Amino acid sequence: MNGAREKISPCQFHEQIEAYEEEKKIAYVTTAERIGRQRGLRQGLLEAVALGLELKFGEEGLRLSGQIDQIDSIEQLEKIKEAIRTAASFQEIETLIVQSSGDGSRDG
């Protein structure tokens, strides 16, 4: 090879990348896929937290929905989900949610 590169079409390039990934068993996650997964995980956690609050605290728990929806941090939502399981009172969860929604817990 003399250093000159052969020109290939975008389709050929894509095919070569796919063949290389298959050969090397590379699991590549695009930025769009990663964002989609994060959004899906966040949505699932929001639903889990809402359900947990409703089951444990009834209507009182549901009034925190607006504040919970403001939390983008997967880590904070997981903490809240786990805290619902062990909380002795509604106030414990309410305090945690208020802290989480007011501390800049926005990953987005």
pLDDT tens profile 20-62:
777 777 667 788 888 999 999 999 999 999 999 999 999 999 9
* pLDDT at residue 3, rounded to an integer: 57
pLDDT of 30 reads 85
The band of 1, judged by pLDDT with boundaries at 50, 70 and 90, is: very low
Please give the distance of CA 24 from its chain centroid, rounded to a whole number: 28
Token couple for 1: 């090879």
Gap between the Cα atoms of 68 and 5, Å rounded: 54
Q: Work out the pLDDT band at 4, boundaries 50, 70, 90.
A: low
DSSP string, the chain: --SPPPP--HHHHHHHHHHHHHHHT-----HHHHHHHHHHHHHHHHHHHHHHHHHHHTHHHHTTHHHHHT---HHHHHHHHHHHHH-SSHHHHHHHHHHHHHTT----
- Residue identified by tokens 């590379």 is 26
User: Rounded to two decimals, what is the model's pTM?
Assistant: 0.67
89 within 8 A of 102, measured Cβ to Cβ: no
pLDDT averaged over the chain? 85
Give the residue-averaged pLDDT of 67-76. 94
